[in-house]
Amino acid sequence: MTTQTPGTMPGPVETMFAADEASRRLGIELVRYGEGTAVLRMTVAPSMVNGHRIAHGGYLFLFADTAFACACNSHGPVTVAAAADIDFVAPAHEGDVLVATARERTRFGRSGIYDVSVLRGDEVIAEFRGRSRTLRSPQHADEEPQ
């Protein structure tokens, strides 16, 4: 596995992440990535908690989905989510620093399966599984699953 650190040499992950305004506005940081892997960090902000004073599941899903996107785009061709699901294991709270680690499980044809673990320290907060699809060409992105 080749491990890249942000700032060394712009590749497909850095290019995609730099254009990801949603993740940037939430303060998500790309820590490192390699072929089929990615590690990201996010602090739960006050605007991310719900009426129960825990992190809203939508933000946790977005965080895990961003790690998934970085891992599945590490190979170069534009790759998008075909489907994904998440299991919320423990609540996260305002101020928690979360780390999402994405790992490629398998790739076959233009499809792939990736697992993402979201942790606070050593505690699992959520487990995410994403299914990817590599686009035939960038100009047909609007015709493929998102």
pLDDT digits (tens, 9 = 90+) for 1-33: 345 555 556 789 999 999 999 999 999 999 999
User: Looking at residue 9, what DSSP letter applies?
Assistant: S
pLDDT of residue 140: 47
Task: Give me the mean pLDDT over the 47-73 stretch.
Answer: 97
Task: Give me the mean pLDDT over the 117-135 stretch.
Answer: 97
Q: Report how far residue 60's alpha carbon sits from residue 102's, in angstroms, rounded to the nearest whole number.
A: 14
Q: Report how far residue 106's alpha carbon sits from residue 123's, in angstroms, rounded to the nearest whole number.
A: 26
Would the pLDDT of 61 be above 60? Answer: yes
pLDDT of residue 2: 41
Question: In this predicted model, which residue has the larger pLDDT, 128 or 146?
Answer: 128
pLDDT of residue 7: 52
pLDDT of residue 11: 87
pTM of the model: 0.87
Give the CA angle between residues 65, 141, 76 to the nearest 5°. 65
pLDDT tens digits, one per residue of 71-112: 999 998 899 999 999 999 999 999 999 999 999 999 999 999
Helix (H) or strand (E) run with residue 45 in it: none
